[in-house]
Homo-oligomer: A and B are copies of this chain.
């Protein structure tokens, strides 16, 4: 388990804990590591999530997909990020999402209930893990909140601008990369890819932004007021 410490130190769930504490917690939470190839889902919709996952290496998408290939991308995971916590923390609720690797990856499975119900005071590390879990869950709710904010806009143009200006602010620059390709971005915003490309082209023609693959540059001064407040 020691080999994964570099990844775990960066995980929000283990924030403020030294290596020994982390290893101790891993034992308490019955931690298990699993490898997945690119085509093997980490979790499938319909399953019950008894454990939460922490991505150690690689990347993965949290998606809802139907049989016609319609896809709703909830989030993209990078190493150190966790997933399925809300389901595991809500008593092993049935998943309505799948988690699919973007490439081969490694995951850590953690039994949440061990920290919540068992040995509550036995090891004091638990208090810290539970507090970190509170923070992780809160941030996940805020992430969903943000996605809803983007999706709630009525036009593709507004959805794009809402997402892109959000990313720009988060990264603190008008010049930034996004983690999605065009199809993935369309699936994140829940719009048609080709219609989104049309809108991106229009925004570029109008001088509002430049978009080269995953790299974007916003020109805030070029936006008509309609797209902002007031």
Contacts and interface: CB of A to CB of B under 8 A. Distances in A.
Interface of chain A, helix or strand or loop or mixed? Answer: helix
Interface stretch (A34-42, A98-106, A146-154, A208-216): A146-154
B190 A72 contact: no
Number of copies: 2
Contacts of A85: 138, 141
Interface of A: 64, 66-67, 70, 72, 74, 85-91, 93, 96-97, 116-117, 120-121, 124, 127, 130-131, 133-135, 137-142, 144-149, 151-152, 154, 190, 229-230
Given A134-B116, A138-B86, A142-B86, A152 B229 contact: no
A195 to B, nearest CB: 11
Contact of A116 (B86, B131, B147, B151): B131
30 contacts: A67-B229, A70-B154, A72-B149, A85-B141, A86-B137, A86-B142, A87-B138, A87-B142, A89-B135, A89-B137, A89-B138, A93-B142, A96-B145, A96-B149, A116-B131, A116-B134, A120-B127, A121-B124, A127-B127, A127-B130, A130-B130, A130-B134, A134-B134, A134-B137, A141-B141, A141-B144, A147-B148, A148-B148, A151-B152, A151-B190
